[in-house]
Structure 1
């Protein structure tokens, strides 16, 4: 059953990175493109009639890939799978292969001035799937492993209920980035995100281990789910007990001071009230009250 559910996660997954964008207007730009996909290179803002543009690989400078003169495309040796947009200055390269990985140079010629920029294009195989496997250990800990289908240089990250895991929730720090062990009291939706420079996949599972080592897990597909968003900063925790104790004493002291001042205020009020009535009884007449309503002091605690 576990294998079937894992296969469903692989089949239902969607790769983010079949088309990438890179700003090549700065010299030395590092660009990445998906194997078999498309990369859009921003070479200039827009083509000008007074300029001439050339794009070529550094391994073979004699072969010009793109040549633009007077705002017209004169040569494009890979026209079958590439295009250059004169209005926005983008070069689109489709159906990327490993041989497209190279250093490219882009020359801008304007009569006397010549500008040469270089960019490095690296083609990577995108991550195609993600699979999670979980197990209950003898003391109720939960071990979760994550693996990806294909992909060059995959990187793994973990979240719990949409936030980053803390050291207090992990049993120990593992050198393997695709495997974690959670402590006994930790439970929730554990998500694993696998990514590289051209794609990203995420999957998560609910896992709970009982005292008799029974594993209760539920696979959920990660697409369009908030649990597979970028991890947020974990809540701030106070690790030192002395800091907590000092804070508690301070709060109790403030509350006690408020109570004392409130009692003093009430005692003064009733003493003034009693003195007022005694004076009124000894008088031959009772003066009229200017205000019918008496003010009451309220203390918010």
Structure 2
């Protein structure tokens, strides 16, 4: 029992001692699933009350990268297009240990096309893909449309340039003909003047005789 300075008995106090074993090591295991997802498991060797956290390329995993599970559990499933430097950290009140692994996609691609009249939109193995081999997919149609539009614009620009060049050529030809016509109309006047002089001289010679 314990008493205060006035001799009154104090209420008993209970102290709780919590002892935790530290985490010694972490094991990271990944495997590809049937649809290209990746299951990753993180397990710790020893350690009491472990807590898990995940990062990818230095950033906390987001819900958009997870197909199932959460970033605080030791088992997660990543989406088909997720890759990079994955780190699992295990910690408790007395220790913290991390394990990292470089993960890549499981070789799956996402296809969105029409094959034999059927719309296909799914993840498939790139190596064994036998779907969407026809040239009727939406991206191909969009590309062809943009190409036709570009060719039409180039053709219009070329036609405009040709018309401008033809206009310039016609203008210079018209100007040259106008100049030649002006020279031709001036030549007879000069000849008439010379003929008049010759006639005057001939008349003068006749009168003298």
Give TM-score scaled by structure 1 length. Answer: 0.31
Give TM-score scaled by structure 2 length. Answer: 0.44
Higher helix share: 2
Higher strand share: 1
Bigger Cα Rg? 2
